[in-house]
Chains A and B, each alone.
Chain A
């Protein structure tokens, strides 16, 4: 019987090709074409969507062939072509725009390849969770195919992939209130928390990150404000990803310790003594899962919005190798 795997798919735009490569191996070696729960952020949400409905060949086709123009286009193409995307950032700041790039192409590409009603119908087989950040509350906000309609899920998928400043926030009305939502990677690069919170019975969590969990070393001076900004965002991303994984490991360790203590005959009441009431629900009746992480050894030679088919295919091959290595080291093959 195939293991029950909770899948966590991190963000990274075009680097999602690495994730697709890793999944080729995961699906075949573990015999797992379906997953009880998939939690995605950004490009991981798009990958999770096609995986949830088992439209695998479409998924590989997209991450092998799309170009940047199929995903985003500068809001002001002429300005961008004359002075580069940085000029659009300046123009947006002066004129009150919300982003450098327009995501109409991404929305159209999603709608042309996925019927979101199929995504809703994929539950209860697969609980698909999109991770976003609510700009108004500042909190991580999740949308899933158990709770939300096809229309809301389409907006949430777009929001989950909308890197702030680069792409427009997406307004979504929930319970009569419209908030703006952006890429969940702002707060959760590797969205493990949603899987723990889902209460779906699992044997293991498999997390696929499109970047190593340490910062890329970059020699040389940063002399342009945009380069410094880019570098800062990269470092913050690394920190968020490392915290996601480190936090999940710690959480898992606590759950395992509770299970060990219970097995040794210690009563549950004694184990929870002194634990604050607001924390108790997060550990009471929860189970620890082994976590396997698949990540590239080195940072990929690919920027998030660099949807270059040749580079994406190279990243896909790296994903294959990384998955074989990680699954072998975890004793799963």
Chain B
């Protein structure tokens, strides 16, 4: 005896087989994992602070002067001194970096509070440089 499936059932069976094959071929998803360290955190808070308070065009020369001034910086004090040496940046607040960059970064969830002080100072310097560059490039 031949059992004749209605057309729709045969189509469903064929589709089910196709989908079963397709399911076997589907790759297992790999999660996206954010790459965040102390330097990335400082870079972000620097870029955010400049985005909120500075004008990318009007303050570009001042930021370049600041960038040149921190070429040999090793810690936050030297970053702050360089900031204060640029008059138009100093006018935005002599404690601008402390208030809007360093303190904000140090409160973040992934801030490595227990890291050696020298490593953190280096992260502040590298992060501020990278954040200033990112801001000037429009990121």
Contact = CB atoms under 8 A, between A and B. Distances in A.
B109 A53 contact: yes
B27 interface: yes
A105 B31 contact: yes
A133 to B, nearest CB: 25
A219 B30 CA distance: 39
Point out which of B25, B28, B107, B109 has the most chain A C-beta atoms below 10 A from its C-beta: B109
Contact of B33 (A53, A112, A313): A112
Nearest to A61: B34
Interface of A: 24-25, 27-29, 33, 53-58, 60-62, 65-67, 69-70, 73-79, 91, 94-95, 102, 104-105, 108-109, 111-113, 118, 313, 317, 320, 324
Nearest to B103: A33
A317 B51 CA distance: 10
Interface stretch (B10-18, B66-74, B77-85, B117-125): B10-18
A320 B56 CA distance: 13
B18 A79 contact: yes
Nearest to A78: B22
B40 A94 contact: no
A57 B104 contact: no
B139 interface: yes
Interface stretch (B41-49, B57-65, B87-95): B41-49
B53 A94 contact: no
Interface of B: 12, 15-16, 18-19, 21-23, 25-36, 40-41, 44-45, 48-49, 51-53, 100, 104, 107-110, 138-139
Contacts of B12: 94-95
B19 A95 contact: yes
A96 B45 CA distance: 48
A76 B22 contact: yes
A168 to B, nearest CB: 14
Contact of A95 (B15, B25, B138): B15
A57 B107 contact: no
A24 B51 contact: yes
A24 B32 contact: no
Given A94-B12, A108-B31, A320-B51, A57 B108 contact: yes
B34 A78 contact: no
Contact of B26 (A25, A73, A95, A118): A73
A212 B40 CA distance: 32
Given A76-B23, A95-B12, A113-B34, A61 B48 contact: no
A58 B30 contact: no
21 contacts: A25-B51, A28-B48, A28-B51, A54-B107, A55-B108, A56-B41, A56-B45, A57-B41, A58-B109, A61-B34, A70-B32, A73-B26, A75-B26, A76-B22, A76-B26, A77-B25, A79-B22, A105-B30, A109-B32, A112-B31, A113-B32
Nearest to B21: A78
